[in-house]
Structure formats: C-alpha cells, structure tokens
Amino acid sequence: MSIEFTTQSLVLNGPGEPISLVELQHDLPVGSDFFIVQFVRALTAPESVIVVRDALRFPLAMIDQYAAYKLLAFKISDGIADGVWWVDDYVYDSEQVNISFKSSGDAAGSGDPGSFTGSVRVADQPAARNVIATALDADPPYQLARAVSDPGDGQYTLEWQGYTGQMLITVFDDYGVPHVNGEARGAGERVHPAQYNGYTYQVIQSGTLGAEPEWPTVADQAVWSGTVQLIAVPFYRPVSEGPFIV
C-alpha cells in the first residue's frame, strides 16, 4: 500500500482586515519547542492547522463553532515529531479559557510486524520530510512509527509490530533547532526564531550565532546572526492522510 503526499504552505493570517483570535491556555509541555495542532472533524481532511507556543490561538472563523472536533497535537523537537497529544470531542465554548490535552508517547509493540510505504513530494518534486503514523484505535492513541522520506525519490517505509486498526499518517516539514546565542551552526542546518513567523532559516555560511536578528519573512532573503549567514525558507504545514486500516 502506498500514498503520495503534497504539502502546502501554512498561512495563519491573510491580507486585509485584522483577524480576531481566540486564545486558550493549555497544558502542553512546550518548553523551548512548539506544537502543531490539527482540528480534525473528518479524518480524511483535517480542517485547520495552528502553531502553539505560549497559548493556543486561532481565528474563530476557521472552525464550525457547533461541530465536535478531535484535536491532535504533535510536538516538534529539533525538527522531529515526538509523540502525540489529543482532545476528544472538542466543541468551541466562548466561556472556556483553558484546554487540557491527554498525552501518550511511543509504544513498543509486540506481535505481528506491519509496514506501510509511500512517497512525499513538494511542488511536484521528491522531498525529505518527517513522516509519522498515529495508531488511532489504540487506547490511548500513540505514535506508531516514524520515518524520514528519501530526498532523492521521496520514498519512505513505516514499520511496527503488534497493531491493527485505523492509522493516520502525517508529514512534517523540518522546523530546525531553536536560535541560541553562542551556538555553532553548520551549512544546511535550520534554525527557527523564538516567535513563530511562518519561516525557518537555513544556514548558508557556517559560524557562531549571535543575538537573534530581525528575521526576514521573504523566501530566500538572507540575514546574519553573529558569524552565521542564513536564508529564509517557508515552513510548510503538516499534511495528514487517512485513516488507513492496517
């Protein structure tokens, strides 16, 4: 079985009138990392994706206020999806100020082996991306398998043991590592700013990071931090497909 993914860029706010954002406090263990949160009403088409740091913020217009959603939160640590957190049957409530997520980590299965193959393409070209499978029918759900697609042909293979049921596959872009003053960074590495802005920054000249600069938000525009030169790279939103029965 195989599937081809095409990623799309994450757009939080378009041009025009300012958008009023709902803000909810949460108990996700953010630390120096951040979370991607999907509002899922139909598993075949997650409706919205947001980025969480200090609070969960989203335009109210992006969801159906009367529909029940499953929220899936994926922790992004050094560019890698690490575990899954979720909320069942979330319905928007204007009086709510806090939201509590359930959590699960990786589960080491035992039993019959399983596998799933596919490919990742960005703008019609093969691409290297983090790919994870979430075991939806497990109680609790957990990260079933993880792989990185090949940059040459976009192919990946997910392997696990001892699980049968519904599986959701999600492809993640590489957000890089946090910017830390004084750290050495090499060519090709990615660094992300303290405040999410829709971009990550790829090192094109090695060196030592200085103070956090004013980050450009135009693709391929260069910026210096200490002796490191970086260019702006759009951060692509995650894409999910499924559920698949395995």
- pLDDT tens string 32-85: 677 888 888 765 555 667 777 778 878 788 888 888 888 888 887 766 666 778
Q: Which helix (H) or strand (E) holds 134?
A: strand 130-135
Taking Cα atoms as reference points, which of 13, 20, 5, 12 lies closest to residue 37? 12
pLDDT at residue 43, rounded to an integer = 58
- Give the CB-side neighbour count of residue 16, counting CA atoms within 13 A: 5
What residues contact residue 183 under an 8 Å CB cut-off, 6+ apart?
208, 209
Taking Cα atoms as reference points, which of 33, 67, 42, 22 lies closest to residue 178? 33
Does 170 or 182 have the greater pLDDT score?
A: 182
pLDDT at residue 203, rounded to an integer = 96
pTM: 0.68
Span of 18-32, 86-100, 102-116 with lowest mean pLDDT: 102-116
Highest mean pLDDT: which of 68-82, 172-186, 216-230? 216-230
Taking Cα atoms as reference points, which of 17, 2, 110 lies closest to residue 59? 17
The number of angstroms, rounded, from the C-alpha of 91 to the middle of its chain's C-alpha atoms is 22
pLDDT at residue 187, rounded to an integer = 93
